[in-house]
Structure 1
Amino acid sequence: MAQAEVTETGNGGAADRRTGSRVRGLLERLREDRGLWRRGVFLAAVAVLLALTMILHAQIPNRIGNLGSLTETFLPWLGVFVPVLLAAALWRRSATALIALVLPAVVWANLFGGLLVDKAAASGGELTVATHNVNAGNPDPAGTAKQVASSGADVLALQELPVSKVPEYERALAGTYRYHHVRGTVGVWSKYPLTDARRVDIRLGWDRALRATVATPRGPVAVYVAHLPSVRVKLNAGFTANQRDASADALGEAIVREPLDRVVLLGDLNGTMNDRALRAVTSQMRSTQGAAGDGFGFSWPASLPMARIDQIMVKGVEPVASWTLPRTDSDHLPIAARMNL
């Protein structure tokens, strides 16, 4: 028995010596590799530039093709370059690039790491809302309306409603929602009474925003439904969003004047929470996805969601959960949220 114990100890010591020898050999090769620190300087510079872009995104000017807003719209996707640069640094065997890569990795984690944590409560919430840009060319308005209504939302907002298709949406939702109001191409359906429903002027030539008071069992809540103008990427003009920006400012001004303390904004804002052009709205309201969501909650395009341009935002209420709903015949995903009043 004693001999066996000695043998096992001896084998373990030999293994330790072999491991130590390998480590010493690796360190020796690294010392002999004189290019370890000189290689990958370009990769290191790219890593630093990537980090600075994320840190200073608000300083990127919008004067040239709204470059700043375009960068902020897809800001989370800059993190994709981190593993790409990591692979390149390992292939080049560059210690300089590997160390520099720590900077963008830390910055991205600081900006967006919190979104990777599921903050949604499994149950609870005194009011459930949903919003959906149904797409003017939707081939199945009734099916889309019923599918979104099946989420159990107490209040449902729809955008991009063609005037000719409004009756189809009304018939499809009549059995679930007793109250509704439509202005132009936006509408709100509610299980609770609606009062003081009116258009909101967002400086367009037609109605794409409304406001109504929802009489919930816990008291009145002001609900805004908005569809801000689309943005375009043009070869000769870049990221054109001036009309969207002006409408966002007008919507923000309307919310500032809102007399009720509890406010919910539902709609397609054609911009993300990072986009500085929406600051008139985002500076005074919270995103339910950021506060109580699971993941990024990208909603557009529905075939391969890359940005959350559909928003549920609140003021004076507490988000409990926020999520995307299954795809419909629209090019946007519907989104929903639960909240305590």
Structure 2
Amino acid sequence: MTAPAGVARRPAVRAFGTALWLTVAGLVAWLLVRAAGYDHRTPFAQLVSFTPYVAAVSLVPLVAALVTRRWRAAVVAGVVVAVFGAFVVPRAIPSGAPSDGDRLRVMAFNTKIGAGSVPELAALIRREKPDVLTVQELTPEWAAEFAALRLFPYSALRALPGASGTGIWARYPLTDNRTVDPKSGFDQTAAQLRVSDGRVYEVVSAHPRPPIFQAAEFGSPARWVRDLSRLPSASKVGPVRVMAGDFNASLDHSPFRTLVDTGYVDAAAQVGKGLVPTWPMNGTKAPPVTLDHVLVDSRADASRFDAYTIAGSDHRAIVADLVIR
């Protein structure tokens, strides 16, 4: 003897409803972590990077609730989708045409401790003709191989073994070569770029420590937060500041948003390419996220942003055109 079909379906229906509400609850928890900036510790510092993917997944319970006519779940799921959209979608929408002004093309590249292909990067530089290049994880060997090509007449280098070194190459003179903060885990180069008509820009090769899982390592989340806080805030006086490189942070990380909110423009987000992934790009199974950025203070706008894969590196080279008012 078998139970009526309706009776047999009831446990499955209840299980589906429970799974739906649990999924929505998990998405709400993710939103709370993202909104409250509760990402200063493991595992949230690492997971928050994947918010754009979770935002896409949030559509699934909404559709499921609508199809099965679970209206209360649909309302909550709809609010979740709307909030995720408010966090993520603006990065994919251009925020307006740049104003008239002086042009500066900026490129940034993380070599992956010297493994990135110098010939491929050189070919990209010859094609793109950037005015300034910032490099992260700059080893002495990679710096010597690249410098031998004589692609730029000027440089400000802090090449070091391992991942700590950074540098700047430019078509114009670089002066006042210094480290951003000697207390930072990585040696982030800063210099004054003096272009031909007398204009001066401050350029920073940005590379805060990563928020890796092991608390005892140099890249713990707490140290990552401190490194981001040591990067200079935006200013409306003095030379226009450009910071380009591997920030080991996305726009979903609250320490990075705090830095941007001091008055910086994220070039990729301004031109509607803020969701273009930059790491990892070497076949690693993790979904790629956006950790490499070009920031410029609010006296400038971005008119273009692109990212290019370079053999040997797990980061893409990024290029941004800036318009300085």
- The interval holding the TM-score normalised by the smaller chain is 0.7 to 0.9
- 2:154 counterpart residue number: 179
Given the superposition, is the C-alpha separation of residues 218 and 287 from structure 1 closer, same or farther in structure 2, using an over 3 Å criterion? Answer: farther
Letter in 2 for 1:183: R
Task: Look up the SS of the partner of 2:227 in the other structure.
Answer: helix
Conserved 8 A contact 2:107-2:318: yes
Conserved 8 A contact 2:59-2:81: no
Residue 195 (structure 2) pairs with residue 200 (structure 1): no
- 2:57 counterpart residue number: 81
C-alpha distance after superposition, 1:199-218 (max 9, x if no partner): 2225146x621111112247
Given the superposition, is the C-alpha separation of residues 277 and 182 from structure 1 closer, same or farther in structure 2, using an over 3 Å criterion? Answer: same
- 1:313 counterpart residue number: 295
C-alpha distance after superposition, 1:225-262 (max 9, x if no partner): 1221122134999x93222222222223xx46996241
- Give the TM-score normalised by the residue count of structure 1: 0.75
Tell me which of 130, 139, 142 is aligned to 2:119. Answer: 142
- 2:79 counterpart residue number: 103
Task: Look up the SS of the partner of 2:128 in the other structure.
Answer: coil
Residues 240-249 or 273-282, more deviating: 273-282
Given the superposition, is the C-alpha separation of residues 340 and 53 from structure 1 closer, same or farther in structure 2, using an over 3 Å criterion? Answer: same
Given the superposition, is the C-alpha separation of residues 179 and 161 from structure 1 closer, same or farther in structure 2, using an over 3 Å criterion? Answer: same
- 2:108 counterpart residue number: 131
Tell me, in whole angstroms, the C-alpha distance in 2 between the residues paired with 1:103 and 1:115. Answer: 20
Tell me which of 16, 33, 36 is aligned to 1:59. Answer: 36
C-alpha distance after superposition, 1:108-129 (max 9, x if no partner): 2222222233558699871110
Given the superposition, is the C-alpha separation of residues 224 and 60 from structure 1 closer, same or farther in structure 2, using an over 3 Å criterion? Answer: closer
Q: Displacement of 1:182 after TM fit? A: 0.7
Q: In the TM superposition, what are the counterparts of 1:1-341 in structure 2 within 5 Å? A: 40=17, 42-44=19-21, 46-47=23-24, 49-51=26-28, 53-54=30-31, 57-59=34-36, 61-62=38-39, 65-86=41-62, 88-89=64-65, 94-118=70-94, 126-138=103-115, 140-172=117-149, 174=150, 176-184=151-159, 185-204=165-184, 208-216=187-195, 217=197, 219-234=199-214, 240-252=220-232, 255=233, 260-279=238-257, 281-284=259-262, 285-303=264-282, 306-315=288-297, 316-341=299-324
Segments of structure 2 that go 5 or more residues without pairing to the other structure are 1-9, 160-164
Q: Displacement of 1:328 after TM fit? A: 3.4
Letter in 2 for 1:222: E
Given the superposition, is the C-alpha separation of residues 218 and 297 from structure 1 closer, same or farther in structure 2, using an over 3 Å criterion? Answer: farther
Given the superposition, is the C-alpha separation of residues 229 and 47 from structure 1 closer, same or farther in structure 2, using an over 3 Å criterion? Answer: same
- Give the TM-score normalised by the residue count of structure 2: 0.78
C-alpha distance after superposition, 1:245-288 (max 9, x if no partner): 22222223xx4699624110011111112212335532322211
Tell me, in whole angstroms, the C-alpha distance in 1 between the residues paired with 2:63 and 2:78. Answer: 13
Mark the structure with the bigger radius of gyration: 1
Task: Look up the SS of the partner of 1:54 in the other structure.
Answer: helix
Given the superposition, is the C-alpha separation of residues 136 and 317 from structure 1 closer, same or farther in structure 2, using an over 3 Å criterion? Answer: same
- 1:25 counterpart residue number: none
Tell me, in whole angstroms, the C-alpha distance in 1 between the residues paired with 2:173 and 2:272. Answer: 28
Q: Displacement of 1:88 after TM fit? A: 4.2
- 2:6 counterpart residue number: none
Tell me, in whole angstroms, the C-alpha distance in 2 between the residues paired with 1:91 and 1:183. Answer: 58
Taking only the aligned residue pairs, the percentage that are identical comes to 22
The structure carrying a bigger helix percent of its residues is 1
- 1:5 counterpart residue number: none
